[in-house]
Amino acid sequence: MGRLSDRNRPKAKLKDVSVRRILQLFKRYWAQIIVIIGLALLAAVIGLIPPLVMKEIIDTAIPQGRVKLLSVMALMMILLPVLSGMLGVWQNHLNTKVTQGVIRDLGQSLFHNLQRQSMAFFTDARSGEIVQRITGDVQSVQSVVTSIVVSSITQIVIVFTTIGILFALDWKLAIISVLILPLFVLPVKRVSKMRKELRVETQKVRSDITSQLNENFGISGALLTRIFGREKQQEQAFTTMNQKVMDLELRLNLVGRWFGMATSTLGPLGTAIIYIYGGYSVIQGHMTLGSIVAFTAYLGRLYMPVGTLLNLQVEVATALGVFQRIFEYQDMVPDVMDAEDAFELGPVKGRVAYKGVSFAYKPDKGGERGKVGKPAERGTAGELAERGKAGELVERGKAGELAERGKAGELEERGKAVQYALRDITFEAQPGEMVALVGPSGAGKSTLIGMIARLYDPTAGSIEVDGVNVRAVELASLRAQIAYVTQESFLFHATIGDNLRFAREDATREEMEAACRQAYIHDFIMSLPEGYDTMVGERGHRLSGGERQRIAIARAILKRPRILILDEATSHLDSESESYVQAALEKLMQGRTTLVIAHRLSTVLAADHILVIEAGSVVERGTHSELLAKEGLYARLYSTQFAKAAEEAAK
């Protein structure tokens, strides 16, 4: 199935991403933040003292020749920065601890929610995009997370304490100093908007680069590139995107620098005005020289924090676009989830029943796939089951309901046609029986067998295991009863033992070896220098296709499932590997209810029931001999596919 269900699309919009939501990320760390604020207050108070010390030296100690007072003031000029620095080290440590905690929590939250998504999401998404959001996007907002709480509070404290002491020194000069502040604010809104748009575009291009790198340097992509000699073309594509990122980053930096230059000129402007007015007051005898020196020193403590706060506002606004990308994934509601009253499915016998099962998806909208729909419904198991039996999918808060439209094979939702991928499938498999699905490519076979493990949920109808609707039980307990062996046997870049333990973490060495003996792969593994500790390489490409398949079969055996889903590989193996794989599959299927997409003659001959699927519907059913006698689609498939495969195997 190539299209994304409309219920698990990202829901966050840019207008929904507020600073308030970002602040919620710090909820777990308020105790540490209070300590940081306390340290910031103390440091701010200490920072107010040096200008007063300078004033005392200029106005009292030197003119009056008080050497002792001068010595004390000079000592304070040394000790105060030391004390402030020590507080700064403590504050910085706590700040970093909080920041890293928030970044860790954000990444963990994204990973957790992505693990809950159904296969519909991963069918549509690019792996590079997912990786970029979890790693690149999260890391790109780290500086904002670092500053948004601690730095903002610290600078605000400094600004208000400084304004207070400025008014205490000279209220007229203080008013002049404060009147300049609005000039700092004027360019912020425009600069923030420009930087936000540039940052969003930059992150999108970075996602494209990550996706391209994943495809180009994966084993399969690297092999394909070399076979077709496309190295130069791929390098050109990478160069284009890389250059685009560079250009965007330069524009982003330039916009920020112009803003920084503009705000940096306002500080000296304010200081110059104060020197002119204050100098005139000193000449007239209305102020002391020490007062004007202290006042201008405080101006630095006023304008610099204001500039920092405005820069922070710009950076936060810039980061809102990245936070939108993060929150999109964080807010996705899985379209396959446990019902509110779902219960644990205990050990099952393995009776499987599909009852009027249909599956539909919406067509593309405007050339974009899946950007439609609402979050997955969440109701009780009984409600979900009833919806399935009724052949409907009722979405909460929606006026129109999905209704069947007979033989046309479509759904309508508010007048919008939705095409069926599967239509009214009904069959049953008793414990230990094998049901073989055959049919042309694209008929819907993979989607159909995936529903038993709720990789997808049917749009209409229901699926039962031992008479229990699969939507009424907990996903984890359902999937614990099922093993799935896919066409392309996937192995992680880990040891053989680690790949086997993926089925059962607590599996002992003896159990792994027993499973591998049943899969006819144990002797091969032991012939390797490192045995079960051998690294298999990315996607298991250090092993042959037949070896990967048998390890995957051993992994399924190790899980001890009652129900087996098997999508037989169509890739051609040499006769020896083929015989080993076939023998391993026979061991795996013994005593288990098996749904298999069949590509081998031996499989269809052994099947208790054969379903012939075409265009999403069961067009024929029966045993091998019964279906041959009908001289229909199965008979044609037999002559073109199964019989030919059997002849090749015999050769």
Q: Domain boundaries in the chain?
A: 14-331, 468-650
Neighbours of 404 (CB within 10 A): 21
Whether 14-331 shares its CATH topology with 468-650 is answered no
Q: What phi, psi does 565 have (nearest 5°)? A: -110, 125
The dotted CATH code for 468-650 is 3.40.50.300
The string of DSSP codes covering 544-590 is -HHHHHHHHHHHHHHH--SEEEEE---S---HHHHHHHHHHHHHHHT
Q: Which residues of the chain have pLDDT under 70?
A: 1-16, 146-150, 184-190, 192, 215-229, 256-264, 266-267, 362-418, 569-575, 641-651
Amino acid in the structure at residue 423: R
Predicted confidence at residue 256, as pLDDT, reads 64
Residues 254, 327: Cα–Cα separation, whole Å: 28
Q: What's the pLDDT at 194? A: 75
**What gap in Å lies between CA 98 and CA 597, rounded to an integer?**
52
pLDDT for residue 572? 54
Residue 354 tokens, joined:
């599909």
Q: What pLDDT shows up at residue 421?
A: 87
Kindly state the tokens that stand for 260: 């920084």
What values do phi and psi take at 302, rounded to 5? Answer: -95, -55
DSSP 377: P
pLDDT of res. 543: 85
Residues 6+ positions from 95 with CB-CB distance below 8 Å: 36, 146, 150
What's the CATH superfamily of 14-331? ABC transporter type 1, transmembrane domain (1.20.1560.10)
Predicted confidence (pLDDT) per residue in 17-69, tens digit: 777 888 888 888 888 888 988 888 888 888 888 888 888 888 888 888 888 88
Residues contacting residue 245 through CB under 8 Å, at least 6 positions apart: 202, 205, 206, 209
For position 593, what pLDDT does the model report?
A: 92
